[in-house]
Amino acid sequence: MRDVTVAVVQMKPILNEMENNLVQISDWIKKIATAQKTDLIIFPELCTTGYECGVRFTELAQRVPGPTVNLVAQRASEFGVHVAFGMASKEKVESILFDSAVVVGSDGDLIGEYRKVHLKGEEKLAFRNGWKFPVFETEFGNIGLMLGWDLAFPEAARTYALDGADLLVVMANWEQPYNEEWRTYLLSRAYENTCFVAAANRIGQDATYSFFGESMIISPRGQIYASVDQEVEGYAVARIDLDEVRKYREEFQILQCRQPSAYRSIVRAY
């Protein structure tokens, strides 16, 4: 058995208030990790800044690694837990920004950064697209990171599954009134890839968007192991057995019975 305890945090970031948000993140790590032994804590997309920062992203974005990553890594090391969270990152050239997800290990080391591939609406005005879906190896298993609208694209989750991910970690700013869409996508990605899905969605309001939460942890067969109610700050925690991924993939043969030669249009530009 590969038992892993996963927690998803449903928090309310304050727009443009990085220091305040980092205090919140630090407090959540302490609260969860001292309540029970936890292997991985997941925070929402852009949880260090808020979502509708506009041009202020240029001053709020940081390098990876950098001050924000170092602070979260220090807390991860202090409590012996892996942490995945969303932030605005930048390249050496100050104007090149990304909507990023970062995962740090329980020893405080940076495991990796994922840059959001599927940008939606005004995100395209602030950020550049990422272009790959890296699978990150951890001491408990392989994980794939997804941000917000990535969830709507089955190609993203399938790429991770084919490359060996056991757990899809989704960090989102999924807004009202698209609750049913959120829930449907999460269940679909779990079923169609026979893998675990752990999703953290924020709550609260920014300038024009309202966010509803419904963070949850889902099994490869669509069972919701734990969840947080709508529009409530809190966290959900579940113990999962990653060996179930191989078990169900062997039983249902979803990946083995694919016919790639028949799917040519999938990789053709629209």
Q: What is the DSSP letter of 167?
A: E
- Using CA atoms, how far residue 194 sits from 66, 67, 182, 256, in Å, is 35, 37, 18, 12
Angle, vertex CA 114, rays to CA 108 and CA 120, nearest 5: 140
pLDDT interval class at 269 (50, 70, 90)? confident
Q: What is the pLDDT of residues 196-234, one digit of tens each?
A: 999 999 999 999 999 999 999 999 999 999 999 999 999
pLDDT, position 95? 83
Question: Which residue bears the tokens 């928090």?
Answer: 11
Phi first, then psi: give them for residue 169, nearest 5 degrees.
Answer: -105, 115
Predicted model pTM: 0.97
Alpha-carbon torsion, ordered 100, 195, 183, 208, to 10 deg = 0
Please report which residue ranges of 115-178 form alpha helices under DSSP H. 123-126, 154-162
Phi first, then psi: give them for residue 174, nearest 5 degrees.
Answer: -90, 125
Q: Domains (ranges, CATH) in the chain? A: 3-267 (3.60.110.10)
Task: Enter the tokens of residue 131.
Answer: 């272009």
In the chain, % helix, strand, coil (3-state, to 5) comes to 35, 30, 40
Q: What is the pLDDT of residues 44-71, one digit of tens each?
A: 999 999 999 999 999 999 999 999 999 9
Question: Which residue bears the tokens 């028949």?
Answer: 262
